[in-house]
Amino acid sequence: MKLLNNPNLTVLVLGDIVGRIGRNAVIRNCRFLKEKYHADLLIVNGENATHGNGLIYKQYLDLVNAGVDCITMGNHIYGKKEILEYAKDANRLVVPANLENLEDELKNNVSFEQIVNNVRVKVINLLGIANINLAVKSPFIAFKEIYEADPEPIYIVDYHAELTAEKNSFGYELDGRASLMFGTHTHVQTADERIMPEGMAYISDVGMCGVRESVIGFDYQEVKKVMWEGGSYSVAMKGKGMLNGLVVTIDTTTKKATSIERINIDVE
């Protein structure tokens, strides 16, 4: 008897990794989570993975070797300058496609593609405009150009943006063309996960992987002091970790999402 191809694609997304505890939480648990949810593809946002600002090559490799399929970035893309040296060897790294004056070393990293269950899947990363403090091209124009040049794949979009309204409006723009849009950047998981009218799975922010008792992954005692006295604060280095994420099932024939589930778990 000839076995039928799996008509579904299951995507597991984990939110912004913040520092060592966030990295370790992902590294120690990602294979278990992939098996638990029967995930075909695991995507994480890694722009805060190294001390809360950027991603070094060693930690990129640690995540990939642990089972992460794709690592998206964001406004801290240049947080660790060595990214310009290793990007050519990091074929699972995705940088914001709408960043103005993108360094030449990163131009081959504006998307990640993989054949999954006999269909082509394309992951892209886009920056929002409000409070990002980087020169960016309109994400609306950027996605339109990318999609019209290559409309065939199943599109998965990490929209790294500050404002929920900005994310929500972009979600309606992508609905019917992308299959999944998940927001990153604010590190606080929202409860608005849903399948939009034209079949795209959506959440305003998928959350973070880091210390549960923290201020978006940073030491809350230091943050409180800064609120009174000014200064700076650092990534939380102790405490119980948490993993925020999302599991989405996509029909590979229609490219429409059929289910969406938030993940919010404590880990040692």
pLDDT per residue over 183-198, tens digit each? 999 999 999 999 999 9
Q: Under a CB-based contact definition with an 8 Å cutoff, are residues 32 and 248 in contact?
A: no
- What is the identity of the amino acid at 83? I
* Cα three-residue angle 248-250-256, rounded to 5 degrees: 120
- At 20-48, the pLDDT tens digits run 999 999 999 999 999 999 999 999 999 99
Average pLDDT over residues 103-108: 95
The pLDDT of residue 268 is: 79
The mean of the pLDDT values for the chain is 95
pTM: 0.95
Q: Residues of the chain with pLDDT > 90: what percent?
A: 95
**pLDDT range class, residue 123, cuts 50, 70, 90:** very high
Position 1 scores a pLDDT of: 33
Between CA 144 and CA 184 the distance in angstroms is 20
Catalytic, 76? Answer: yes
Ordered structural domains, the chain, with CATH: 8-267 (3.60.21.10)
In the set 38, 51, 76, 185, the catalytic residue is: 76
Task: Read off the pLDDT of each residue in 108-132 and give the average, rounded to a whole number.
Answer: 95
Rounded mean pLDDT, 121-131: 96
